[in-house]
Amino acid sequence: MNDIAPQDRKVLLELTDLRVHFDVKESKQWFWQPNKSLKAVDGVSLRLYEGETLGVVGESGCGKSTLARAIIGLVKAKSGRVTWLGRDLLGQDEKAWREARSDIQMIFQDPLASLNPRMTVGDIIAEPLRTYYPKMTKQEISEKVRAMMMKVGLLPNLINRYPHEFSGGQCQRIGIARALILEPKLVICDEPVSALDVSIQAQVVNLLQKLQREMGLSLIFIAHDLAVVKHISDRVLVMYLGHAVELGTYDHVYHQPLHPYTQALMSAVPIPDPDKERVKEIQLLEGDLPSPINPPTGCVFRTRCPQAVAECAQTRPVLEGSFRHAVSCLKIDPL
């Protein structure tokens, strides 16, 4: 894992109080009543450093994918800042977003659904080159595409095949090649291995780590599998109901979790040792995940938190601490 001190690395991406809210019209709502607001991401702040891998974990519906799409501009943020290399993208026009997207690419969850079935593999991988470098010759594009196919473990003689002729793991390699063909600085991986077999998952994760070393990439890696996130991440962000509840190095978050929600997540991670697995205590969360349309007042986790007190209903905690470990909880001092 990269253990360089943050002051020695450049800040690539900074999110400041980022909020993504969606207007929702309920089925029994009268036409004169205002729409409800679904708070998918509600005040997330963080920094991503050059060469770093940030893992993002949390239950389904916690805002992980929405956060990723807001960073790249696929969904519109309600407020806050997305600062890329010192430039706030949210206040910029489409031209600025277009320039930034050449440096920020995305790998999607479903490898086959994210590829155009009517295009050959060569055309799929070459499409970003044709978009950003229209003056490149066909020969130059072909050479670059074939070289990238070799990098991701695909034979160049498959360049004229179509996506349906490949397995799920191979389709994900095609998606990786397409994301990396412009040599970006940041790649956002939105659950890139969740639809793959376990053995293929390991191959794809190892491939991403290899390409990161070779190309000097920064990664944001979103996943449900906490073991995968631990394997690939320098730091881990834990999200709950659109909020960042804990952020720290993988060692701190996995071995010394502070937030009750993180503790519950980590207690459910299987231990390879059968004896330890048999005697470990699993912390079960009571109740259901609250609706993001009507989140609890104060701390959003208080309705399921075993340590909640009256103050938790009145005051909303903020993420506080250091680069190595920060937590959003009124009862916990990360320092």
Which strands sit side by side in the sheet containing 36-49, from one edge to the other? 36-49, 11-24, 79-84, 87-88
Q: How far is the C-alpha of 286 from the C-alpha of 260, rounded, in Å?
A: 12
pLDDT at 4 over 50: no
pLDDT of residue 3: 46
pLDDT digits (tens, 9 = 90+) for 128-171: 999 999 999 999 999 999 999 999 999 999 999 999 999 999 99
Q: Are strands 243-249 and 235-240 parallel, antiparallel or unpaired?
A: antiparallel
pLDDT at 93 over 90: no
What are 245's two structure tokens?
């509840």
pLDDT at 5 over 60: no
pLDDT digits (tens, 9 = 90+) for 43-80: 999 999 999 999 999 988 899 999 999 999 889 999 99
pLDDT of residue 6: 60
Which helix (H) or strand (E) segment holds residue 211: the answer is helix 198-215
Closest CA to 55 of 257, 222, 226: 222
291-321: string of b/e by CB count within 10 Å (b at 16+)? ebeebbebbbbbbbbeebeeebeeebbebeb
pLDDT of residue 50: 93
Lowest-confidence range among 41-55, 218-232, 275-289, 318-332?
Answer: 275-289
Q: What is the DSSP letter of 157?
A: G
